[in-house]
Amino acid sequence: MSTRQMGEKVQRREDPRLLTGNGRYLDDLGRGALQAAFVRSPHAHARIVDIDIADAWELDGVEAIYTWEDLPGRVAEPLPVLIPHPAMTHARTGYCLARDEVNHVGEAVVMVVARDRYVAEDACARITVQYDTLPAVVGVAGARDGDRLVHDDVPGNVAANLRQEVGDVDSAMAGAPHTLTLELAIERSACMPMEGKGVFGRWDADDGSLRLYSSTQTSTGVRAAVAAKLDLPLAKVEVVTPDVGGGFGVKIVHPWPEEVLVPWAARNLGRDVKWTEDRREHFVSSAHERGQLQEVTVGFDDDGRLLALDVRFWHDNGAYTPYGIIVPIITATQLLGPYKPGAYRVEFWSLYTNTVLVTPYRGAGRPQGCYAMERTMDAIAEHRGLDRAEVRSRNFIQPDEMPWDHGLMFQDGRPLKYDSGDFPASLAKLKALVGWDDFAAYREQAEREGRRVGLGIGCYVEGTGVGPYEGGHVQVETSGRVNVATGLTTQGQGHQTILAQIVADELGVPFDDVHVTTGDTRRMAYAVGTFASRGAVMSGNAVALAARVVRAKALRIAAEALEVSPDDLEIADGVVSVKGAPGTSIALKTVAVMSNPLRYAFDESAAAATQFAGTFDPDTPPVGDDDEPGLEGQDFYSPTQATFANGMHAAVVETDPVTAEIRILRYCVVHDCGVMVNPMIVEGQVHGGVAQGVGGALYERMLYDEGGQLLNASFMDFLMPYASEVPHIETDHLETPSPLNPLGIKGAGEAGTIPVSAVIASAIEDAEGFPIRSMPISPADLWELRRRHAASDPDPVPAQEGPR
């Protein structure tokens, strides 16, 4: 009997290849291809007056130089608005190469294709672009003022304004015994995958077809977008996603200008063309996230129970809105976390600034939402002198209230309805893990030693596994090898392992026989992409359903051969046997032979399926009317709504009384993503997420000056945590299966990141005794806050009691 794979800490099959230099990332492909480089705008806001490329052409090895005027047809048109929304009244996107105007530093203006990247960059340096500079709009506050405009035809810099309300907030607020207003700020960070973006295009002139390799999170999306832009039949475009060195959101955007320009140039030049983003390009021309100013007004009773919640926030969407307003919609809805808000009203304004565009980054708007809600919970507890965990507990949605419908519309246009979860049980686990009730004693002990420590907490619910669908294809070869394909891409989440685990169990074959392909449009042309913690939920269930199709077919064929009912058969270890009579069996690979009647014998197993082998009924066709050759099947999983994972984090921090250095002493996570396919991989996702959250809480911020120059566009200056900055993470899990899908899975990809800024703010506030209202926080920030509070010079954004 085979060992069940689901739920086991199976070691990853991706690893040996990646560990030995046998990985194939984008820049490892296309040896000998021509290389592209870009002249990018040095100004945040300017009109292009003139471009002089003459000097660049003089360089040996330059093959092509393109400006906007060289672009034909749809290549010259603005990039698409990928996710339109009715509230987005002023969507704006850029061009593949800037047309008349640039709207952020780093916007591509000229493309050079040359023998190698060195020459291409030399050529870029010889191109002179004359600009007429315009005033730049930087930061949410600057955009909100509206006295300077990013786009002349967008009043107030407002791309979108959306309001949702459940219940009567005004009367609930008026009737609340207590109200508080919090002004909150959170700054920009960025995904920063270790591998930047990259595109490699190969045009086959004889076949009129394009093969495109891209370091993307959506190969089918890139395929459709590029086919449309280049006016090619979809059938003539293949997109392959090789090994991808991390994504975290930024690689879901498509098409990036380079994804259009590189294949276009390849077709133009009849040569392979490649572009590999360098780190500076990634900082100034890819995407950022997180920047928001928030205003929360909350009404509550003596016990700290929410009666009304009124939230307004201003979201910095950067210069363009290709990915719509997914990020602020998620903030607006996921802000509610595990709590019942009473009446709830939320309104946001998504604002243009002359900075790099904003698209989802791991957590995608949720870290900001969680931060707003959890800062509010702490403020309520402080105001009422209550235990912070207790205030949270009193506001929880209870397990017997699931499914819980908030009455709001989520990011996928469907109801914000939680499918499952047990928040009291999660909180109990977290309190036990971190030693919540013993902390007061620890703090006293630390104080006696002259140390200042604080405990912080943060709870969240994460909408995961959004639709519309993913597909799975499963095929059993006559060798017994099982090929599984899903169109969803992978960037290190271990999909090749977990999907093989699922199929091995569903089909009844050894794990080692199952081989998974992801993100290759040649193998699965229908897919959405990897984002929103949807890989295991969507493709996991899709490959399970496809495996069930194959299993049913295998049982039908084997039942005919063994002259028994399919109901009497089982499959284990790749063998179909009669239940209770293991001697009567047939190997699955033999069933594969039988499934496909052949004319030609090309090997031994094929010989067994040819027309003169074995017995057959001459009165029936070799393939029945309602049948197809081959032991393979395909199915799709498409849910009615997202699943909702949840979790709770707690941290102990120490703040140095003199230097204000902030150290995380302990970090504890309780996590519930439903049924875990591979707990080892789930934990790895949590660890990585927390590390990114720690970066966002303490180090990462995009430092723009007033002119829109990004002052810290390098790893020397934009600080990401090393091993020395990330604490050991203690984890515990709860599994409340999702009732929405056959496997009971909820997603786990982003969870670790969501509450970290809230938790660290909570812990620092607990250590210092004054409110923390702006994140990230550096030692210098903390030092300044201490100075202001000591001088009774209140924080610029304190909580305020009383009527609005």
Partner 1 sequence: MSQFAAEPLLDITVRVNGIRRTAAAPARRLLSDFLRHDLGLTGTHVGCEHGVCGACTVLVDGEPARACLMFAVTAQAHDVTTVEGIGHDPADLDPVQQAFVECHALQCGFCTPGFVTTISAYLDEHPDPSADEAREAISGNLCRCTGYQNIVAAVLRAAELRREREGTA
| Beta-bridge mates of residue 672 | 646
Q: DSSP letter for 61, please.
A: T
Q: How far is the CB of 710 from partner 1 (least distance, A)?
A: 15
Smaller CB separation from partner 1, 142 or 519: 519
> Strands across the sheet with 729-733, in order?
452-464, 643-655, 662-672, 729-733
Residues 6+ apart with CB under 8 A from 26: 195, 198, 199, 200, 213, 214, 215, 242, 244, 274, 276
Q: How far is the CB of 217 from partner 1 (least distance, A)?
A: 12
CB 137 within 8 A of CB 67: no
Q: How far is the CB of 258 from partner 1 (least distance, A)?
A: 17
Q: How far is the CB of 94 from partner 1 (least distance, A)?
A: 25
> Strands across the sheet with 209-214, in order?
62-66, 108-114, 34-40, 273-276, 198-204, 209-214, 237-240
Closest CA to 523 of 111, 168, 220: 220
Smaller CB separation from partner 1, 103 or 757: 757
Query: What stretches of 207-266 adopt beta strand conformation (E)?
Result: 209-214, 237-240
Question: Distance (Å, rounded) from C-alpha 72 to C-alpha 86?
Answer: 31
Q: How far is the CB of 669 from partner 1 (least distance, A)?
A: 11
Closest CA to 542 of 463, 633, 447: 633
Smaller CB separation from partner 1, 139 or 727: 727
| Beta-bridge mates of residue 461 | 646
Smaller CB separation from partner 1, 181 or 753: 753
Q: How far is the CB of 752 from partner 1 (least distance, A)?
A: 8
Question: Distance (Å, rounded) from C-alpha 690 to C-alpha 530?
Answer: 20
Q: How far is the CB of 490 from partner 1 (least distance, A)?
A: 9
Closest CA to 58 of 130, 129, 126, 128: 126
CB 489 within 8 A of CB 528: no
Smaller CB separation from partner 1, 15 or 100: 15
Q: How far is the CB of 268 from partner 1 (least distance, A)?
A: 21
Smaller CB separation from partner 1, 245 or 341: 245
Residues 6+ apart with CB under 8 A from 3: none
Q: Which two three-digit tokens encode residue 431?
A: 């309190």
Q: How far is the CB of 72 from partner 1 (least distance, A)?
A: 28
Smaller CB separation from partner 1, 17 or 579: 17
Question: Any idea which residue has 């920063």 for tokens?
Answer: 192
Question: Distance (Å, rounded) from C-alpha 382 to C-alpha 304?
Answer: 10
> Strands across the sheet with 46-52, in order?
101-102, 46-52, 128-133
Smaller CB separation from partner 1, 674 or 727: 727
Q: How far is the CB of 15 from partner 1 (least distance, A)?
A: 4
The number of angstroms, rounded, from the C-alpha of 397 to the middle of its chain's C-alpha atoms is: 26
Question: Distance (Å, rounded) from C-alpha 247 to C-alpha 166?
Answer: 35
CB 29 within 8 A of CB 88: no
Given the DSSP bridges, would you call strands 178-186 and 198-204 parallel, antiparallel or unpaired?
Answer: unpaired
Smaller CB separation from partner 1, 276 or 376: 276
Smaller CB separation from partner 1, 33 or 550: 33
Smaller CB separation from partner 1, 278 or 438: 278
Give the chain's count of helices (H) and strands (E). Answer: 20, 30
Smaller CB separation from partner 1, 198 or 341: 198
Q: DSSP letter for 595, please.
A: T
Question: Any idea which residue has 């507990």 for tokens?
Answer: 393
Smaller CB separation from partner 1, 478 or 753: 753
Q: How far is the CB of 486 from partner 1 (least distance, A)?
A: 18
| Beta-bridge mates of residue 669 | 649, 731
Closest CA to 143 of 47, 49, 40, 44: 44
Q: How far is the CB of 491 from partner 1 (least distance, A)?
A: 6
Smaller CB separation from partner 1, 354 or 518: 518
| Helix, coil or strand: residue 432 | helix
CB 687 within 8 A of CB 752: yes
User: Beta-carbon neighbour count of residue 600 at 10 Å?
Assistant: 9
CB 45 within 8 A of CB 131: no
Smaller CB separation from partner 1, 28 or 795: 28
User: Beta-carbon neighbour count of residue 711 at 10 Å?
Assistant: 10
Q: How far is the CB of 583 from partner 1 (least distance, A)?
A: 35
Q: With residue 506 as reference, give the H or E element that holds it.
A: helix 495-507
Closest CA to 660 of 550, 749, 779: 779
Q: Which two three-digit tokens encode residue 225?
A: 């977008």
Q: How far is the CB of 215 from partner 1 (least distance, A)?
A: 10
Q: How far is the CB of 533 from partner 1 (least distance, A)?
A: 14
Smaller CB separation from partner 1, 241 or 376: 241
Smaller CB separation from partner 1, 191 or 408: 191
Smaller CB separation from partner 1, 60 or 563: 60
Q: How far is the CB of 620 from partner 1 (least distance, A)?
A: 47
Provide the binding-site residues for partner 1, judged by CB under 8 A: 11-12, 14-25, 27-28, 31, 58-61, 116, 118-119, 192-195, 243-246, 248, 278-279, 491-494, 680-681, 683-684, 686-692, 714-716, 720, 722-724, 726, 728-729, 752
Q: How far is the CB of 7 from partner 1 (least distance, A)?
A: 16
With 0-12 / 13-18 / 19 or more C-beta atoms within 10 angstroms meaning exposed / middle / buried, residue 334 is buried
Q: How far is the CB of 23 from partner 1 (least distance, A)?
A: 5
Given the DSSP bridges, would you call strands 569-572 and 575-578 parallel, antiparallel or unpaired?
Answer: antiparallel
The number of angstroms, rounded, from the C-alpha of 108 to the middle of its chain's C-alpha atoms is: 25
Largest CA distance in the chain: 98
Closest CA to 610 of 600, 602, 595, 622: 600
